[in-house]
Structure 1
Amino acid sequence: MIMEEPTSEEEFLAFTDLYRVSPYFQFAHFTANQAILEAFEREEDRNNRSIHVIDFDVSYGFQWPSLIQSLSEKATSTSRISLRVTGFGKNLKELQETESRLVSFSKGFSNLVFEFQGLLRGSRVINLRKKKNETVAVNLVSYLNTLSCFMKISDTLGFVHSLSPSIVVLVEQEGSRTPTRTFLSRFTDSLHYFAAMFDSLDDCLPLESAERLRIEKKLLGKEIKNMLNNYENNNIGDCAKYERMEAWKARMENHGFVGNKISSKAMIQAKLLLKMRTHYCPMQFEEEDDSDGGGGGGGFRVSERDEGRAVSLGWQNRFLLTVSAWQPLSLI
């Protein structure tokens, strides 16, 4: 039976379920937000207590409530902090819903001035209305791998560099699925990735739960279907370009960025998240990179990599995604 395409509402519910029960998205968002918060703190003496986040794929906006809360804890009624989020989205309806969700949440923090500007993906950006001395943070969470060719990735990184951001946060799924690899290689890597994702749900939800079935069918199932359709129709350019951390590192460095150390606070936060989200399988915390893509053992794990300049979330012997922070070499 051919799986029906989920409605936008069904996909949203499945995403919400996975966000709530698994550390997968929360690890990416909380670690990225900690790096952004630290960039803001480094510039507090000159940024007029203003920060501008440019999010190249804002999606449902689930990343930003935790940053709003963290910034509010640093603000007072007489010394408010200004947070502007410029978010790119795939359609106008989703952008409007995301704006409504974030604006509503921010109203609970009177010492924070919040502003959201939604733009459609692919929009020509002429003026991002940068304020004088504000901290500029660029958020590239699971975005670059969706671009149709490596030239567009290069153009995007060139544009990001031209913004002279204080920090660029990069989050990418780990893999070896690029158009230059053979079909068998891409298929095998995809098989191992989705096997790890499905297995990791054992640690989050009972096998027969409605939430788990929704995640498997409406979220992971859709991703598998889209991948197979692209393979079958030879739409190689439309396939997500999942690469190892080392490949993204080389690409960032080639575009004039230098990696920042992931702070000890971010590492502690990531480990605490796993303690709260791990239910049945033992956790593992590692400091050294593994040449085979992950260490042995069971359950979720956090691994510090690239001499502390990247941190990965893994399941058993496979890295799932990696967070790294960058800044233009010219600003150092």
Structure 2
Amino acid sequence: MTGLGSSMELLVETGKHLSNFARRLGMYFEFNPVDKKFGNIVDISRLKIRRGEALAVHWLQHSLYDATGPDWNTMRLLNGLGPKIITLVEQEIAHEGSFLDRFASSLHYYSTIFDSLGAFLPVDDPTRYQVEHCLLQREINNVLAVGGPARSGEDKFRLWRSELLKTGFVPIPMSTNSVAQAQLILNMFPPAHGYSLVQGDGMLRLGWKETSLYTASAWTSLYP
């Protein structure tokens, strides 16, 4: 796996967590950190794509506008790479509209996120502190900043699913095996009664106590 981001330190730490998780599943795992925004990649050799291997891209469309680079360049790169599959994960939160609209939406969304963390991790847990102060704080700042998504100075799509359709990608339904694996992973973090996993329209939605948090969908190219 190749991971991209603006901080090598965070990428290395992410690689360690993923390696530990893969070890728990009994999987061989190799991680290649690249301290570059995906939308700013020019030299694709840094991605270490191996000839003959199927390429999959996981794209998390979240509130960290400053971590991903221009969306149009990301789409150009995706088309150039021609992956066999793209998994797209989107946060269920409004990034547009007036400040009041964004404030109300983010208040409800992030209150739910904090509730879910608080149900499983004590206040002084170092992992919880990292998530809240290094990730969620930045996301909230991005959502609430005056000017909406354009504040980053980088072009952002209104809806990634629409853009994928325009450029020759089509959605494919999540397989029964994928749903079972997602549920298995969710059950690895007991108690899991607060979380819900709902399948519909070929997508998976992760929620916490009636509030939808993330939607995952899978895509493939019409022109392999």
* TM-score, L = length of structure 2: 0.75
For residues 104 and 251 of structure 1, what CA distance do their matches in structure 2 show? Answer: 35
Q: Determine the structure 2 residue equivalent to 1:260.
A: 172
Flag the 1:93–1:300 CA change in 2: closer, same or farther, 3 A. closer
Q: Is the 8 A contact 2:19 2:29 kept in 1?
A: no
Shift of the alpha carbon at 1:173? 0.9
Structure 1 residue 169 corresponds to structure 2 residue 64: no
Q: For residues 243-267 of structure 1, what are the alpha-carbon distances to aligned partners after superposition, in whole Å with 9 as ceiling and x for unaligned?
A: 7xxx432222112111121111221
Q: Determine the structure 1 residue equivalent to 2:124.
A: 210
Shift of the alpha carbon at 1:126? 4.5
- Alignment length (residue pairs): 216
Q: Is the partner of 2:114 in helix, strand or coil?
A: helix
Q: Is the 8 A contact 1:86 1:119 kept in 2?
A: no
For residues 161 and 120 of structure 1, what CA distance do their matches in structure 2 show? Answer: 19
Q: Determine the structure 1 residue equivalent to 2:3.
A: 87
Identify the match of residue 200 of structure 2 among 305, 308, 311: 305
Q: Is the partner of 1:330 in helix, strand or coil?
A: coil
Give matches, 1:1-332, under 5 Å. Answer: 85-95=1-11, 114=30, 116=32, 118-121=34-37, 122-127=40-45, 128=47, 130-142=49-61, 145-147=63-65, 152-178=70-96, 181-205=97-121, 209-211=123-125, 214=129, 218-219=133-134, 222-223=137-138, 226-227=141-142, 230-231=145-146, 234=147, 236-238=149-151, 247-279=159-191, 282=193, 299-306=194-201, 309-331=202-224
Shift of the alpha carbon at 1:89? 2.1
Q: Is the 8 A contact 1:142 1:171 kept in 2?
A: yes
Whichever of the two has the greater Rg, that structure is 1
RMSD of the alignment, in Å? Answer: 3.9
Shift of the alpha carbon at 1:162? 1.5
Q: For residues 217-276 of structure 1, what are the alpha-carbon distances to aligned partners after superposition, in whole Å with 9 as ceiling and x for unaligned?
A: 525662366247623xx464247x797xxx432222112111121111221222233344
For residues 21 and 214 of structure 2, what CA distance do their matches in structure 1 show? Answer: 28
Q: Is the partner of 1:250 in helix, strand or coil?
A: helix
Q: For residues 259-300 of structure 1, what are the alpha-carbon distances to aligned partners after superposition, in whole Å with 9 as ceiling and x for unaligned?
A: 121111221222233344342x74xxxxxxxxxxxxxxxx32
For residues 129 and 274 of structure 1, what CA distance do their matches in structure 2 show? Answer: 31
Give the aligned residue type for 1:301: S
* TM-score, L = length of structure 1: 0.53
